[in-house]
Amino acid sequence: MSAPEAIPEPAPVHGKAASLAVDVRGVSRVFAGRKGASVTALDSVGLTVEPGEFVSLIGPSGCGKSTLLRLIADLDTPTTGEIRVFGKPARQARIDQDYGIAFQQAGLLPWRTVSGNIELPLELHGAGRAARRARAAELIELVGLSEFAGHYPDQLSGGMQQRVAIARSLAESPSLLLMDEPFGALDEMTRERMQNELVRICAETSAAVVFVTHSIPEAVFLSNRVVVLEPRPGRIRDVLRVGLGETGARGETLREDEEFFHVVSQVRELLHGEAPAGARGVEAR
């Protein structure tokens, strides 16, 4: 009788890897195109996000920002590479509802009130009526819509609808938020107000965030790190650590700060592929 084949031990998940909110390793995503042509939306992308950290993805259209977010959310599967969320495979994190998602379109159900929309994920996962109501009320207050709990989406402005979507994404107290241009459809003033609120909400909930945006000032204002992607194939060009203090302490005055403008121009230069002026805080990935 031959010796039983050695069964390899599963690699232990410990230390730093287990404590990361997001761990993307060597991830590529190739889409098969028409007539055999294929698009490499992402090519060997590596990225980690610490718990409570705010990381923005920025880059020209088509550089793979949405693809990367969808892969982390397990709405799509990498062609190669591995993604872990809180040390688990992305699929398990989705099943465990470890993250909330918000996209550019609020995506509210028009026949449900503000409260009803926010309660939806809780309802789908079997929370009782009283618990749902209480949680929705808490979140409605958090996003400053207390007077509108009974309103329907078409009675709200775009900014208010987006706040409802953010409240809904927070319903199950996720430790991670995945946001794809959530303020993209808003006017500039509303957008800045929403950014101030998001900073406050993140400080209150300690959630990690992966945030896709086209706006350089938005990325800088919100983030601990800004990840600059480049297209065809989609790759990480640079990662810039934003040294503007705790994100939770950032407020309206920061927008006028000289240091803020400095970081904005650093990101702009990275986007345009130039060496950043005084490459402070720029790391390999």
Ligand X SMILES: Nc1ncnc2c1ncn2[C@@H]1O[C@H](COP(=O)(O)OP(=O)(O)O)[C@@H](O)[C@H]1O
CB of 162 to Mg ion, least distance (A): 16
Q: How far apart are CA 261 and CA 138, in angstroms?
A: 36
Q: Which of 21, 22, 41, 186 binds ligand X (CB under 6 A)?
A: 41
Integer-rounded Cα Rg, in Å, for the chain is: 20
Name 246's Cβ contacts closer than 8 Å, sequence gap at least 6: 203
Q: Could you say which of 2, 10, 34, 61 contacts ligand X (CB under 6 A)?
A: 61
Q: Identify residues 219-258 at the interface with ligand X (CB under 6 A).
A: 234
Scan for tokens 């590479």, then name that residue.
81
Counting contacts by CB under 6 A, is residue 64 touching ligand X?
yes
**66 forms part of the interface with ligand X (CB under 6 A):** yes
Q: Which stretches of the chain bind Mg ion, using CB under 5 A? A: 66
CB of 218 within 8 A of CB of 58? no
Could you tell me which stretch among 63-71, 79-87, 144-152, 168-176 binds ligand X (CB under 6 A)? 63-71
> Residues 176-215 vs ligand X: string with x where CB under 6 A?
----------------------------------------
What residue number has its CB nearest to Mg ion? 66
Other residues' Cβ atoms within 10 Å of the Cβ of residue 246: 9
Q: Which DSSP state fits 11?
A: P
Q: How many CB atoms lie within 10 A of CB 192?
A: 17
Binding site for ligand X (CB under 6 A): 31, 39, 41, 61-67, 234
